[in-house]
Amino acid sequence: MGGAQSLGLPSAKGPHNVGCTDVMIDNSRQGSFFRLYYPCEASGEVKHPLWIPHYEYCRGLADYLNRDKRWCAPLLNMAFGYYEVPVGWDAPFKAAEKYPLIIFSHGLGAFRTVYSAVCIELASQGFIVAAVEHRDESACTTFFLKSPVEDLEPSTGATTAVQQPLEGSGIPLASPPEMDKEWLPFRKLDTANEDFAFRNKQMCQRVEECSRALDVLTDINNGKLIKNGLPGHLDVSVMKDCIDLKRVAVMGHSFGGCTSILAVSRDSRFRCAVALDSWMFPLTDDIYSKALPPVFFVNSQKFQTSDSIDKMKRLCSNNNEIKIITIVGSVHQSQTDFTLLTGQLLSLAFETKGTINPIEGLNITNRASLAFLQRHLDLQKNFDQWDALLEGVGDHVAPVN
């Protein structure tokens, strides 16, 4: 394993500072929920968000791992609860240019922050990245919001109106009422027989959620007034005219990988897809007879079966812009933050590290993805310096022929 590495998420390498915020549009289960990473202005005081956004995610991870929540959730909270994401929470958006957009789809049992290292790097290189938190019951847990309950006068049962001071009066405005979270747990399957039908249905919902996130960001870019259901200080209307809707890609890991493949086949606004160690099982056979837009498969060495590789090759036969590479020495979790945040003991238990240094593995994933995105989004950047990676040429990479 490369040199010793301290645990934590690395700072991004690109020329932009990175900010992030959470966006929830339409507080119901059918609404859109994503974490937004974006280039931001340098500011004096920077608040870093916690990597685990809420203790409930520790309970959800325990559930997904089939461990007893009573002891496993506190242990997970001890292991991960103090990590921060090295970005500026609600930092002022840098409205200097039009930025290409990436919609990111997480894997099975994950949630919106699990790919922060990849998303931060992309944002630092001049992308806006929306990491969707899916509500198809594939996240370890997620939530939507119930309407706020109005305060009742205990004596009369009548509602009380809070007198709001005028803006600009020097008196702080009262916070909006806290809305109750309705948690949506991970769905465990009862039998193997329902596996394909259910996973395919989930994948189709995930594609709709990716397109819905793109709809929201399109509205923001076009200046439509958007009401964010989550508390925050970033007014997303400052992004008006700053999202390059002609340069949009979809990206995802594992279950998010096949989601990105189906999304690029169904929604023509996505010009290309990056599939990180894609799970191919939920896709139906008809996808392999289609001429898809460009797709880039970045595989780990351990996860893929020969059947999955054959399916990827079938897609290649319809489009020579579809590329497949393997990162030598990597495992399925090498493209997640877990590879950076777990010590040796947890890594042995859950196989979060391969033989490649975790930072080096993620650098390859990021550089190869940037080279591919430059090529197929027609970007005027210097990411073509990593073009050789697209052919599987370089240290720790191999082509899949």
**Cβ atoms of 330 and 300 closer than 8 Å:** yes
Of residues 92, 16, 80, the one with CA closest to residue 54 = 80
Our answer to whether residue 48 is catalytic in this structure is: no
Instruction: For residues 323 and 392, give the distance between their C-alpha atoms in angstroms, rounded to a whole number.
Output: 9
| Phi and psi at residue 360, to the nearest 5° | -65, -40
Q: Which of 105, 277, 369, 396 is catalytic?
A: 277
Instruction: For residues 287 and 314, give the distance between their C-alpha atoms in angstroms, rounded to a whole number.
Output: 10
Instruction: For residues 257 and 275, give the distance between their C-alpha atoms in angstroms, rounded to a whole number.
Output: 4
Of residues 251, 206, 216, the one with CA closest to residue 237 = 216
Our answer to whether residue 233 is catalytic in this structure is: no
- The DSSP line for 353-393 is --SS-HHHHHHHHHHHHHHHHHHHHT--SSGGGGGGGGGT-
C-alpha dihedral sign at 104, 106, 112, 117: negative
**Cβ atoms of 147 and 182 closer than 8 Å:** no
Q: Which of 254, 300, 308, 334 is catalytic?
A: 254
Strand pairing report for 323-327 and 397-399: antiparallel
Listed as own residue / partner, the contacts of 286-292 with beta carbons closer than 8 Å and 24 or more positions apart are 287/261, 287/262, 287/315, 288/314, 288/315, 288/318, 289/318, 290/265, 290/318, 291/318, 291/319, 292/261, 292/264, 292/265, 292/318, 292/319, 292/322
Instruction: For residues 176 and 201, give the distance between their C-alpha atoms in angstroms, rounded to a whole number.
Output: 37
**Cβ atoms of 114 and 337 closer than 8 Å:** yes
Q: Which of 16, 106, 134, 332 is catalytic?
A: 332
- How many other C-beta atoms can be found within 10 angstroms of the C-beta atom of residue 142? 25
C-alpha dihedral sign at 366, 370, 373, 377: positive
DSSP annotation of 189 reads P
Our answer to whether residue 332 is catalytic in this structure is: yes
C-alpha dihedral sign at 371, 377, 378, 381: negative
C-alpha dihedral sign at 226, 20, 357, 396: positive
**Cβ atoms of 254 and 63 closer than 8 Å:** no
Catalytic center residues: 254, 277, 332
